[in-house]
Amino acid sequence: MKKILLVDDEESILKALSRILRPYYEVTTFSDSQAAVESLKNVQYNLIISDIRMPNIDGFELLRQAKEIQPVLGRMLISGYADLEDCEEAIDTELAAVVVSKPWDNFELLNVIKLVLKYADLNAELTRLKG
């Protein structure tokens, strides 16, 4: 089963996302971005979904660190208050595969997650083949 790491400083968002994803994926949640970084050092995940605006480490920096720790990890951002230019840059630089707006549509979110996981799998295979 694929492992997804969810990071958001709002517990209600973590609960909502977990409720949607747990039937299909193994889900780990953190409301503290620094704790999520430590988890990335110890657990292999397939995908990280992070809020953008959080205390301490924002979503952009969290994904930068996640990319360094686990280079082939799928990465998504989710936010209700996104700066469009920053989000475009995150996608252009391949920091994130996609940015999803809050509130989200559950069906669309699940399909986007499937696509990001497939992209991450292909990226991992390409990295392995270049090896």
Backbone angles phi, psi at 99, to 5 degrees: -120, 125
Backbone angles phi, psi at 107, to 5 degrees: -60, -45
45 in helix, strand or coil? coil
Contact 114, 93 (CB under 8 A): no
Domain boundaries, the chain: 3-130
Q: Among 65, 117, 115, 125, which Cα is nearest to 95's?
A: 65
State the 10-residue block means of pLDDT for the chain, 131 residues long.
97 97 98 97 98 93 97 93 80 93 95 97 90 77
Q: What is the pLDDT of residue 127?
A: 87
Single pTM value for the model: 0.94
Which residues contact residue 105 at a Cβ distance below 8 angstroms, ignoring those fewer than 6 apart? none
Q: What is the pLDDT of residue 83?
A: 73
Report the distance separating Cα 124 and Cα 51, nearest Å. 24
The structure tokens 């090896």 sit at: 131
Topology given in CATH for the domain delimited by 3-130: Rossmann fold (3.40.50)
CA 15 to chain centre: 15
Which residues contact residue 107 at a Cβ distance below 8 angstroms, ignoring those fewer than 6 apart? none
* Four-point Cα dihedral 105, 107, 111, 113, nearest 10: 60
Q: What is the pLDDT of residue 82?
A: 64
Contact 28, 5 (CB under 8 A): yes
